[in-house]
Amino acid sequence: MIWIDPILGTVAAENAPIVLSGVLLSLVVVYLASKLGGEVSKALDFPPVLGELIGGVLVGASALHFLVFPESGAQYTDSLLMPILQWVGDLSPEAVAEVFASQSEIISLLAELGVIILLFEIGLESDLRELQKVGYQAAIVACVGVVAPFVAGTVGLMLLFNVPAIPAIFAGAALTATSIGITSKVLSELGQLKSREGQIIVGAAVIDDVLGIIVLAVVASLAKTGEVDVMNVVYLIISATAFLLGAILLGKFFNQAFITVVDKLQTRGKLVIPALTFAFLMAFLANAIHLEAILGAFAAGLVLDETDRRKELDQQIIPIADILVPIFFVTVGAKADLGVLNPVVPENREGLVIAAFLIGVAIVGKVMTGWFTFGQPGINRLAIGVGMIPRGEVGLVFAGIGSASGVLSKPLEAAIITMVILTTFLAPPFLRVAFGESSESEPLVAQTTLEKEPQTLTSE
């Protein structure tokens, strides 16, 4: 039987078409899960992204096992897609293992492109001037949201649960994260991205992301060597600040150049390709100086937000985001193993008690941040605090690194994962309630374009 593959050629001639099959089938699963979950969630008046996460849980490691990933410990034998591919391609077990590894890597990378596009879109939607106006408040919210849960979590674990210092610090660090992806997506779904509260939350989440990278660097070097690499911390602080400020300052000059170039182009994709080239370049640069790629994409979006062609660009980014962003949310859900929540398993119980404590700290430590926004009379403080709650993918990274470094006990690791999962899943409905209260007194801001479908021109 001959396999033909127009791109991968012949070196991987045995496996490449099967990898393509696997990716196509995974994408079908991702899209079905995201649409089913999103629609049910919407019908129940929850934000669709919650449904996408839960859809991911359903098809992922916790339930149906259609979509499992090696980095959450799964083997190819755990995946329900692999027997299909094995049968289709008549593969040896070794070949299936290779296909599984390749396919998982590709889906994970598509998910990363998804969150990069999401943050680019959020950057496009965010108003730089508005962000600058609330920058001060956002910084305070971010700092309180890092310090409060970190201190309360670490000290509480040491005093109440007799956890040694290093693992306690690690768990405290995991409490500091905020998932900018989940928060900003929910905000846009609620039509609140451009409200004052929304802009403070997004600003704080961006700053929190930078702080999180610094905290993680500190904690990981502590866990590895027992001491803090001060130079590295200083480097991260300087490079993050320089990158974000530099992008914003240069952006004002770059805008004109961008439009001049775009106006000269004649071929298809003349707006979206230059825009994405810029976004991917910024994401690469952020990654290259050891920040997160999504920060670069967000900065790129902020810069291009100022151009005259923004509305057109918004319209064209929508379908691209529509096909890539769900891969991210479904993947986050699929990677979270809800098995740690099962109280019937005896070894989960200690973890669940610690988890209850961590969740309390996680929620209180973030919700209180809303009351640290000064000089904003009438602002919805609860919504700001609630917006900072979801730990999402950032929290999973902390748990993963802690698990890999071996400093965490099994119950503590399970507790951290439980905390991450619950804060992530609770935040969307909480945020809806928090904003719902204010929307009764004053009307909601007009829906942003983020929530709209691109419409067809009927004039053709």
Nearer to its own copies by Cβ, of 26 and 195: the residue is 26
Tell me: does residue 83 bind its own copies (CB under 8 A). Answer: no
Question: Of 71, 169, 161, which is closest to residue 407 (Cα–Cα)?
Answer: 169
Tell me: does residue 42 bind its own copies (CB under 8 A). Answer: yes
- The residues in 252-281 that bind its own copies, with binding defined as CB under 8 A, are 264-274, 276-277, 280-281
User: Which run of H or E residues covers position 334?
Assistant: helix 310-335
Distances (CA, A) of 95 to 65, 100, 101: 20, 9, 10
Largest CA distance in the chain: 72
Dihedral angle sign, alpha carbons of residues 153, 154, 159, 163: positive
Question: Of 38, 23, 21, which is closest to residue 329 (Cα–Cα)?
Answer: 38
- The residues in 44-73 that bind its own copies, with binding defined as CB under 8 A, are 48, 69-72
What x/- string results for residues 321 through 360 when contact with its own copies is judged by CB under 8 A? Answer: -xx--x-x--xx--x-------------------------
Nearer to its own copies by Cβ, of 344 and 446: the residue is 446
What x/- string results for residues 177 through 216 when contact with its own copies is judged by CB under 8 A? Answer: ------------------------------------x--x
What x/- string results for residues 139 through 178 when contact with its own copies is judged by CB under 8 A? Answer: ----------------------------------------
Question: Of 391, 390, 396, which is closest to residue 428 (Cα–Cα)?
Answer: 390
Nearer to its own copies by Cβ, of 159 and 452: the residue is 452
Residue that the structure tokens 């509305």 belong to: 311
Q: Which of 138, 205, 293, 302 binds its own copies (CB under 8 A)?
A: 293
Q: Which of 19, 59, 61, 330 binds its own copies (CB under 8 A)?
A: 19
Pull the structure tokens for residue 190: 């609620």
CA atoms within 13 A on the CB side of 210: 27
Pull the structure tokens for residue 24: 């196509």
Nearer to its own copies by Cβ, of 1 and 257: the residue is 1
- The residues in 209-248 that bind its own copies, with binding defined as CB under 8 A, are 213, 216-217, 220-221, 232
Q: In the chain, count of helices (H) and strands (E)? A: 17, 0
Stretch that binds its own copies, among 60-68, 241-249, 284-292, 342-350 (CB under 8 A): 284-292
